[in-house]
Every structure is written in structure tokens, then in C-alpha cells.
């Protein structure tokens, strides 16, 4: 679904609740090229491929695959997309060996029940993760704060995980937050029960609130299409759950 010029949101149209909790991936048009931000839950990447076809593009148009962090709901289809496109995969150094399968995905805290809507998803994920594995890929390019991928500026946004990345498109006033800001099941700086460092998550949010932003594309939930900066600033003022 097109949410802004050159930006497409990809969600699971059916059973989205059980696809890592209404997780989202994004396509960004950079001229004739496509940038994929996160790769959803399903190993076959079918929803992303369907959206690529719907907008009249081909998998070969993918030139960059960005993994914001090493959680299953955001890297499920990366191996399929890499095989079909030959595009390089980008991630932060801290996440790279998770993406490559050399280190396990960090455990979340099943004894924190906030937000309560996410708790059943986490329990199911922890249970099925024993046999429902992500197909790993080698990270081709390590990126960090200040790097660029096409028109997107890379932001290091720790808290949810130490190597979490967000991406900022200043010319379009668009911010891709992944899980350092979500809109499902409520507007929050990520899910409390999946944060590895809660104070750091709030520090990251405060920093994002200083950006000139209209459109926010989160890791879970629907995008905010206008006045995104005001939403970030209002939330940042809370400073706690």
C-alpha cells in the first residue's frame, strides 16, 4: 500500500496478529531501484513480492535489503529476497551474526506483560522458534550512524536491541523506525517486554523527536502519514511507561 510518494507499506493481510504482531516491511523507490526495509515474518516473502508485482516492479529491481534488527518478524524473508534479487544485505555490526545465524536471537522477557496484547505472540514465538527457524544470510555491508543507503540516512537507535537501526529520508520527511517506535497495539517507543534496555529506548525516542518528520513507518502497526513529528514529541515528553 502506498503511504507517501515512493514509500510502500507491506503487512500481512490475513492473520496479521500472529505474524509477529502486525509486523510491517517497507519498499522505498530510489529512481528505478527498490530498497527493502525489513523482510517480514514469512520465509517465502510472499507479501513483499506481491507488493513488488502490484506496483509494476520485479524482484530484480531490489538493490538493497536492510535488516533493522535481528528479530524473526523482521528478517523472515531475507534469504528468499536475496536469492531472487542478488541485492546486498545491510545490518548493524551488533546484529550481523544473528542475521548470519551464528548467534541466537536474544530472548525476550516473557514475565513482562506489557503491552498485554503482545504477550500471546511472544509465547507462541518462543515456543515455535525451536523448529521454525529463520534462514540465515551473510550480511554484505555493515552500516552504522551516518551511513547512507540510497537517499536514506542510517540512524543507530539502540534500546530495543543494541544494534537497532532506523532510517531517515530527510527530503521526504519520512522516518522508518522499525521497533524503536510502534503504533500497535498502542503508540509507544517499542514493546516493553521486548526491550533489552528501557532507558536507552526513551533516549532514542527523544532523539527521534528532534527530526523534521511528517511520515513515520513503524515496525508494528500502521504508518502515521502526517504530523509524525508532533506525535514523537508528545510521546517523548512522557519519558516513561
Q: How is the chain split into domains, by residue range? A: 2-236
How confident is residue 157, by pLDDT bands cut at 50, 70 and 90? very high
DSSP track, 1-34 = -EEETTEEEE--SSSGGGTTTTB-EEEEEETTEE
Q: Residue 190: what pLDDT?
A: 92
Question: How far is it, in rounded angstroms, from Cα 133 to Cα 92?
Answer: 21
* Span 118-140, average pLDDT: 80
Question: How far is it, in rounded angstroms, from Cα 204 to Cα 166?
Answer: 10
- Could you tell me the pTM of the whole model? 0.95
The CATH superfamily of 2-236 is: Ribonuclease Z/Hydroxyacylglutathione hydrolase-like (3.60.15.10)
Query: 50: closest CA among 99, 96, 8?
Result: 8
**Grid coordinates standing for 136?**
540465515
Q: Residue 80: what pLDDT?
A: 98
Which residues, listed in sequence order, are joined to residue 36 by a DSSP beta bridge?
A: 27, 65
**Residue 58 neighbours by CB distance under 10 Å:** 12
Q: Residue 28: what pLDDT?
A: 98
Question: How far is it, in rounded angstroms, from Cα 118 to Cα 145?
Answer: 30
Amino acid at each position: 500500500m502506498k503511504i507517501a510518494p515512493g514509500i510502500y507499506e507491506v503487512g500481512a493481510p490475513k492473520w496479521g496478529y500472529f505474524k509477529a504482531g502486525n509486523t510491517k516491511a517497507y519498499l522505498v523507490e530510489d529512481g528505478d531501484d527498490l530498497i527493502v526495509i525489513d523482510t517480514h515474518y514469512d520465509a517465502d516473502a510472499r507479501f513483499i513480492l506481491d507488493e513488488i508485482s502490484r506496483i509494476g516492479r520485479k524482484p530484480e529491481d531490489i538493490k538493497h535489503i536492510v535488516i533493522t534488527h535481528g528479530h524473526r518478524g523482521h528478517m523472515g524473508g531475507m534469504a528468499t529476497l536475496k536469492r531472487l534479487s542478488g541485492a546486498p544485505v545491510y545490518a548493524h555490526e551488533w546484529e550481523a551474526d544473528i542475521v548470519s545465524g551464528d548467534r541466537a536471537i536474544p530472548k525476550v522477557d516473557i514475565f513482562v506483560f506489557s503491552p498485554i496484547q503482545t504477550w500471546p505472540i511472544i509465547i507462541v514465538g518462543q515456543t515455535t522458534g525451536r523448529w521454525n527457524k529463520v534462514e540465515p544470510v551473510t550480511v554484505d555491508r555493515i552500516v552504522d550512524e551516518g551511513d547512507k543507503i540510497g537517499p536514506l540516512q542510517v540512524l543507530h537507535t539502540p534500546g530495543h536491541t543494541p544494534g537497532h537501526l532506523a532510517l531517515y529520508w530527510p527530503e521526504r520527511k519520512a522516518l522508518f523506525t522499525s521497533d524503536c517506535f510502534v503504533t500497535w497495539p498502542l503508540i509507544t517507543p517499542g514493546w516493553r517486554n521486548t526491550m533489552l534496555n528501557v532507558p536507552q529506548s526513551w533516549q532514542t525516542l527523544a532523539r527521534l523527536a528532534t527530526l523534521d518528520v511528517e511520515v513515520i513507518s513503524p515496525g508494528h502497526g500502521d504508518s502515521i502519514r502526517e504530523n509524525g513529528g508532533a506525535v514523537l514529541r508528545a510521546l517523548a515528553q512522557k519519558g516513561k511507561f
